[in-house]
Structure 1
Amino acid sequence: MTTVDINCDLGEGFGPYRMGDDAALMKVITSANIACGFHAGDPGIMVKTVQLAMENGVDIGAHVGFADLQGFGRRVLNLEPAELKAMTWYQLGALQGIAQAAGRRLQHVTFHGALGNMCFADADLAATLMAAIKAFDAGLTVIAPPMTEMEKAAEQAGLPVKRVVFADRAYDDRGLLVSRKLPGAVIHDPEAVIQRVLGMVQDGAITSQSGKRMPLAIDSVLVHGDTPGSASLASLVRERLQHAGVQVRPLSQR
């Protein structure tokens, strides 16, 4: 039987500001990628998000990004390898400390926004980030898009890897995400998103904007938490997957 994880980027508010309905999403998803205070989040929000994950049996993971609150981590910062490693350790350490105090541990790592897009395409950058993860905890699972430099670097570093597809983002012919600056990069129609996810999971492949089919392993589906109506969309995605006979489980139980 086909089994898949549903993950989401959460804890992306700051102070009194909130983004997305984390409480509702936690009832639907199976893995949470929690912002660690750089592109979004703060200590209080991180604690509350970890608590929500524990209450709902959701795996806890770190969502590491550039120190760019104003730009929500979507602006490119050109940093030296030593800086990249340090900022990765800083964010992993912060969330690990909060999780440990609550009696849990980190299960996985993902990268946010500009840092994630760079890691998908830049082999040197990806190798630097994977080396940082391995030095911190070689048992952390890296959630990586297939056919990317991130996936290759994680495998070469000997880290556990799970492959993720994006529910509402278009792909180019290389298997990379189409830039948000381009038309059609983000799919807004809920039914189109649901059919897209069902097709990818059942077919074991993604299809680019031009129609190119690319077979690949799919372990997890990402639903963006900052998308309007994300909780309802995630619920429909899970419901339709299960109706199609797909089991939805956290990565730690697959």
Structure 2
Amino acid sequence: MKIDINCDVGEGISNEYLLMPYISSCNIACGGHFGNAKTIDKTIQLAIENKVLIGAHPSFPDTANFGRKVLGISHEELQKSIENQLNLFVERMSFFDEKMHHIKPHGALYNLIAVDEEHAKIFVKSIEKYSKDVFLYVPYGSVIEEIALENNIKIKYEAFADRNYNDNLTLVSRSKENAVITQTEEVFNHIIFMINNQKVKTISGLEKVIKVDTFCVHGDTMNSLEIVENLSKKLKKEGIKIGF
């Protein structure tokens, strides 16, 4: 059995060279919440060296809040920003003669389009020129999943290794103490339960059906390296290989 482990990278943490050997896909910040041509190029190079699939990680254009705040900008502004971010990313990928594998929205944008139909439609419109050849990482049971499938966009279901879930399968807000899971064994137990049961244990103790093709470990989680190292070791013992 194989399972994909992805990381959000190129976000100024400078730990990519440590994380890459333990993951199979990555999402590179492309100028919205962080990033420029230099950081994108450096991260692409590391991904190539480690045979990691490469995706774009567009967000609200908001470096001040690291893309973790919903911005009250017009649909036109949001669409233009996402298109600009993806144009930059594709340009840098072409420099390495590489093709984008997937797109994964970041932070507040990811959470918003999971529940908001209007913004989900704007996001799909923003990526349509790229969507023929790439996957879109989406949460199971989300609005963006439905809109993407209606527009014939290929999807991969994503769940979060280091985040807790509400009963409606949204992520627990980062404003709450129990939002992020940092204990390595707790992260492993969180993942293995989803793999074995196709369900996730929510913060209230409920077990909710979920589909997962790829698990995310945030590169800026304080002990992300220890988390991915432990996952690599423990999943191998379970007969599960990290990869697509």
- TM-score bracket relative to the smaller structure: over 0.9
**Could you say which residue in structure 1 is the equivalent of 2:215?**
221
**Could you say which residue in structure 2 is the equivalent of 1:4?**
3
In structure 1, distance between residues paired with 2:14 and 2:94: 25
**Could you say which residue in structure 2 is the equivalent of 1:98?**
92
Tell me how far 1:168 sits from its aligned partner: 1.2
Tell me how far 1:20 sits from its aligned partner: 4.7
User: Any unmatched runs of 5+ in structure 2?
Assistant: none
Tell me how far 1:247 sits from its aligned partner: 2.4
User: Which amino acid letter does the alignment assign opposite residue 154 of structure 1?
Assistant: A
User: Which amino acid letter does the alignment assign opposite residue 4 of structure 1?
Assistant: I
User: Which amino acid letter does the alignment assign opposite residue 179 of structure 2?
Assistant: A
* Secondary structure at 1:27 match in 2: helix
* Secondary structure at 1:111 match in 2: coil
* Secondary structure at 1:142 match in 2: strand
In structure 1, distance between residues paired with 2:91 and 2:36: 13
Q: Is the 1:39–1:65 contact (alpha carbons within 8 Å) kept by the matching residues of 2?
A: yes
Identify the match of residue 240 of structure 1 among 231, 234, 237: 234
Tell me how far 1:216 sits from its aligned partner: 2.4
1:190 paired with 2:184, answer yes
Q: Is the 2:145–2:155 contact (alpha carbons within 8 Å) kept by the matching residues of 1?
A: yes
In structure 2, distance between residues paired with 1:130 and 1:207: 30
**Could you say which residue in structure 1 is the equivalent of 2:193?**
199
* Secondary structure at 1:206 match in 2: strand
Q: Is the 1:3–1:219 contact (alpha carbons within 8 Å) kept by the matching residues of 2?
A: no
| Distance change in 2, residues 1:187/1:62 (3 Å) | same
Percent of residue pairs bearing the same amino acid type: 34
1:141 paired with 2:135, answer yes
Q: Is the 2:131–2:154 contact (alpha carbons within 8 Å) kept by the matching residues of 1?
A: no
TM-score (norm 2): 0.96
In structure 2, distance between residues paired with 1:57 and 1:66: 29
User: Which amino acid letter does the alignment assign opposite residue 53 of structure 1?
Assistant: A
User: Any unmatched runs of 5+ in structure 1?
Assistant: 14-18
Q: How does 1:59-208 map to 2 (within 5 A)?
A: 59-208=53-202
TM-score (norm 1): 0.92
Deviations 1:120-153 (A, max 9, x none): 1111111110122123332220001111112111
In structure 2, distance between residues paired with 1:180 and 1:166: 13
* Secondary structure at 2:158 match in 1: strand
